Amino acid sequence: KQMPIYDAAMAYKDAGIPLVVIAGQQYGAGSSRDWAAKGTALLGVKAVIAESYERIHRSNLVGMGVIPFEFTGGDNRKSLGLKGDETVSIHGLEGDLKPLSNVTATITYGDGSTRDITLKCRIDTEIEIEYIEHGGVLQYVLRHLA
């Protein structure tokens, strides 16, 4: 079913389904990077899987509590053969996540078939791990002020 992005995001939010963006190269390049990350988070996006990131936007995503991942091993948005009826499960986020670690994502296609891919977690530093664990930099700062 096609609908405006805001309506779709709110429907998924009401259903308790977190969103994942799958993107190409230099994701986030442009003049409104900080608002782009804020808008992404406000739509309920919890992760972005991209071929590469604009440096500042990657950092802004982390600051908003959105986890950036990068394709590895020759996989990309085109090689996945996405049609729009897939679900994505990202494994390896529980427990002891390390900066720049690899995780596995399972793509489940509309016909029930699955494909596992390896992603690099683009949380690049230990402090960024803490930001993500707190839901973003603002929540991190507020909790440390108390």
Q: What are the pLDDT digits (tens) for 125-135?
A: 999 999 999 99
| pLDDT for 120 beyond 70 | yes
Which of 27, 67, 76 lies closest to 47, judged by CA?
Answer: 67
Q: What are the pLDDT digits (tens) for 91-119?
A: 988 877 899 999 999 999 999 999 999 99
Number of domains in the chain: 1
Domain of residue 29 covers 5-145
- Which CATH number does the domain housing residue 121 bear? 3.20.19.10
Instruction: Look at the chain and count its residues.
Output: 146
For 138, the 3-state DSSP assignment is helix
DSSP 37-87: HHHHHHTTEEEEEES-B-HHHHHHHHHTTPEEEEE-TT--TTTTT--S--E
* 83 touches 61 (CB < 8 A): no
* 124 touches 100 (CB < 8 A): yes
Q: What are the pLDDT digits (tens) for 23-65?
A: 999 999 887 767 899 999 999 999 999 999 999 999 999 999 9
Residues 6 or more apart whose CB falls under 8 angstroms from that of 134 comprise: 65, 140, 143
How much is the pLDDT for 99?
Answer: 95
